[in-house]
Amino acid sequence: METISEKRYPLSAKDYKLYEEVGEGVSASVHRALCVPLNEIVAIKVLDLEKCNNDLDGIRREVQTMNLINHSNLLRAYCSFTAGHSLWVVMPYMAGGSCLHIMKSSFPEGFEEPVIATVLREVLKALVYLHAHGHIHRDVKAGNILLDSNGAVKLADFGVSACMFDSGDRQRSRNTFVGTPCWMAPEVMQQLHGYDFKADIWSFGITALELAHGHAPFSKYPPMKVLLMTLQNAPPSLNYERDKRFSKSFKELVATCLVKDPKKRPSAEKLLKHHFFKHARGIEYLGRTILDGLAPLGDRFRMLKAKEADLLMQNKAVYEDMEQLSQKEYIRGISAWNFNLEDLKSQAALIQDADMPNAEEPDTNEKKKDISNDLKAPAEELSTSDGASTQDKEDGFNNLQDLESSLASFPIKPLQALKGCFDVCDDDVNNTSPRDLDHNYGRTDNGNSGTSSLSPQNAITQPKKFWSGSLQPDNFFHKKITDGDRDYLQTKYSSERNHSGPLLYRQRRDVNNLPLVDDTSEGAIVQRKGRFKVTSADPSSMGLSNNSSGPVAVTPPTSPPNQNFMSASILPSLQCILQQNGLQREEIIKLIKYAEQSYGKNTESIEAGAVDPLQAPPVTNRERELYLQVVQLQQSIGSLAEELQRQKMKNVQLERQLNSMANKVEK
């Protein structure tokens, strides 16, 4: 545990001076900055909310997680607030930058073993803490391991982290496809039985290889190849000719992590006891060996960016199509992905064996098959039956529904949707200009405020606060949760979260290949720039509706034969969806009950201690943990209530559609 600083970080952009850019991600840039009142150098992640499309949910999750964590190996947020159309997250400045950047600048062939052992031990400590608190990081990689000037290591980037308590059921399968392909565990790709903490152990093993070689296995291949190779090949290992320099214990550590059957992978806690970590040194060793003599982070970042720009210019022709654009981001090490799992699988299935690389072939002597390769996927299993053209499939944007799903659930005014989550001023919300960050140190310009008549039905209007602001203890529990407030929370979540529905729906719809939406909708111009995130599709966001509560937008069939054909193929699908929704609704009600019971238990135990945790600041670690649990349960209740609402809405919409289709068929 880390001692939480008593400092109060200001919640206004005017109290910070933004200096040079030191990093960038999918929709954020990170700057070194000065916190003027505290005279302290910090890092500020500036997230452009307008670029985030429908991933506000992810942003909120990331900041909440960063606010609540309390471990010396995890990058926490001091505070967060909105400035114009951006969200600013203030955090400790990690002057060394990420391990990926350090390798790119000075260690292109990877680090020496004692460095790797030291870094990995610190990362493991972070994972032990995260897993013990129910979180899966889901994006462990060198790019997310940051070092400060003393060599202290912190795991960062909780943008795609998941909370195992989200659903109120640890066993519940997840069917969200997130992470970055090279580091992604096979079970995450497959989505057969869901996944758990062990997905992080796989990524940890891949990260070990990345630190050893300077790049992750398969990093030079396009994502669909990575997918196929991860699923079909024996797991990557340290058994190659070039790996002779590494110790047996390192090879063993990697092999124990990279077992395809997640059950056979050790927990983070167990792994921490592995004898490989005898090679680990104190963090000051990192300062001496890998940070010493490095240029300032901003300069390194600028140089790397220039190099990448050159490379991209050289390969401009190659990056013309959208799939290759994603590949470009992939090369840059950004976890921004824009794929449909089914597309990926079908593309992967098209890859001939002859295409398979041999560059990473292990020594024949040492080559071994993963005996627990029970997840091995035959190529035919990966193919789809929808008969779409290869060209279509290879186009990252071929699936209009992906664009539409982004658009449909994207709040028209992201700031309103975030109201209550961060410190969002009315001025911010009303300011409709796309960019109002003063680039001279990020002062806000609220001069052009105005209220949009486009205010969405799902906008949050109450200026309540939730996790926002300073993380000083007296701010932790600034919100008393009463039944009334729980209602509020439920409404809040129900209006702003956008979730995805069952994967089955997407598959079914893909199979039927039905153009359910007006493809002249705004969706066609919105580029989804989330992480590599193929969530199961949300029927309401797949063209059945333009907004969660808006009118149904169905393109009418143009000719009678078409109409009959379409109706005939739509009807069974819609019926099936209705059935599914019914089942999901039951499941959700069960989960809400479970979450509420657990919440009740927590409240009782807190009341027994005669302390109102929601008003008093947390004093002990135990209190913090309890608070964390309460928060997680609140999140679960909120999201489940929202899911229920959405399913209800969908039912209504689908019923309407079904009726109108049936009428048309009868006519």
In terms of Cβ atoms closer than 10 Å to its own Cβ (0-12, 13-18, 19+), residue 591 is buried
492 is in an annotated binding site: no
Pick from 60, 61, 101, 279: which binds ligand ATP (CB under 6 A)? 101
Pick from 33, 123, 146, 259: which binds ligand ATP (CB under 6 A)? 146
What whole-number distance in Å separates Cα of residue 606 and Cα of residue 362?
56
State the catalytic residue, choosing from 55, 139, 200, 402: 139
Q: Which residues contact 199 (CB under 8 A, 6 or more apart)?
A: 136, 138, 179, 184, 185, 187, 188, 262
Pick from 52, 59, 91, 425: which binds ligand ATP (CB under 6 A)? 91
Three-state DSSP at 20 gives: strand
Is residue 139 flagged as an active site residue?
yes
Closest approach of ligand ATP to the CB of residue 330, in Å: 10
Closest approach of ligand ATP to the CB of residue 170, in Å: 26
Stretch that binds ligand ATP, among 94-102, 421-429, 520-528, 568-576 (CB under 6 A): 94-102
Under rule CB under 6 A, how many of the chain's residues touch ligand ATP?
A: 26
Q: Can residue 26 be called a binding residue for ligand ATP (CB under 6 A)?
A: yes
- Binding to ligand ATP (CB under 6 A) within 394-453 occurs at none
Task: Tell me, residue by residue from 530 to 549, as one string, x for binding to ligand ATP by CB under 6 A and - for no binding.
Answer: -x------------------
What whole-number distance in Å separates Cα of residue 79 and Cα of residue 63?
9
Q: Can residue 21 be called a binding residue for ligand ATP (CB under 6 A)?
A: no
Closest approach of ligand ATP to the CB of residue 30, in Å: 4
Q: Rounded to an integer, what is the distance from CA 530 to the centroid of its chain? A: 8
Q: Can residue 70 be called a binding residue for ligand ATP (CB under 6 A)?
A: no
Pick from 11, 33, 43, 189: which binds ligand ATP (CB under 6 A)? 43
- Could you list the beta-strand ranges (E) of 452-598: 534-535
**DSSP secondary structure code for residue 409 in this structure:** T
> In the chain, what is the straight-line distance between the N-terminal and C-terminal CA atoms, in Å?
69
CB nearer ligand ATP, residue 199 or residue 544: 199
Half-sphere exposure of 344 (CA within 13 A, CB side): 24
Closest approach of ligand ATP to the CB of residue 95, in Å: 7
Helices marked H in 258-340: 268-272, 283-286, 297-314, 322-331
Pick from 4, 8, 12, 24: which binds ligand ATP (CB under 6 A)? 24
What whole-number distance in Å separates Cα of residue 522 and Cα of residue 400?
11
Task: Tell me, residue by residue from 482 to 521, as one string, x for binding to ligand ATP by CB under 6 A and - for no binding.
Answer: ----------------------------------------
**DSSP secondary structure code for residue 558 in this structure:** S
- Strand arrangement, sheet containing 40-48: 16-24, 28-35, 40-48, 86-92, 79-83
Closest approach of ligand ATP to the CB of residue 123, in Å: 15
Pick from 45, 61, 265, 497: which binds ligand ATP (CB under 6 A)? 45
617 backbone dihedrals φ, ψ, rounded to 5°: -70, 150
Pick from 10, 58, 84, 97: which binds ligand ATP (CB under 6 A)? 97
Closest approach of ligand ATP to the CB of residue 146, in Å: 6
Interstrand relation of 79-83 and 86-92 (parallel, antiparallel or unpaired): antiparallel
Q: Can residue 28 be called a binding residue for ligand ATP (CB under 6 A)?
A: yes
Three-state DSSP at 135 gives: strand
* DSSP assignments along 79-110, one per residue: EEEEETTEEEEEEE--TTEEHHHHHHHH-TT-
What whole-number distance in Å separates Cα of residue 155 and Cα of residue 500?
28
Pick from 98, 338, 495, 645: which binds ligand ATP (CB under 6 A)? 98
Q: Which residues contact 572 (CB under 8 A, 6 or more apart)?
A: none
**DSSP secondary structure code for residue 153 in this structure:** E
Closest approach of ligand ATP to the CB of residue 159, in Å: 4
Pick from 159, 179, 469, 539: which binds ligand ATP (CB under 6 A)? 159
CB nearer ligand ATP, residue 61 or residue 265: 61
> Measured between alpha carbons, how far is residue 294 from residues 44, 95, 307 in Å?
22, 10, 17
Task: Tell me, residue by residue from 299 to 338, as one string, x for binding to ligand ATP by CB under 6 A and - for no binding.
Answer: -----------------------------------xx---
Q: Can residue 223 be called a binding residue for ligand ATP (CB under 6 A)?
A: no
What whole-number distance in Å separates Cα of residue 651 and Cα of residue 378?
37
Stretch that binds ligand ATP, among 96-104, 232-240, 241-249, 422-430 (CB under 6 A): 96-104
Closest approach of ligand ATP to the CB of residue 112, in Å: 22
Binding residues for ATP: 45
Binding residues: 45
**What residues are labeled active site?**
139
The binding site for ligand ATP (CB under 6 A) comprises 22-26, 28, 30, 43, 45, 75, 91-94, 97-98, 101, 143-144, 146, 156-157, 159, 334-335, 531
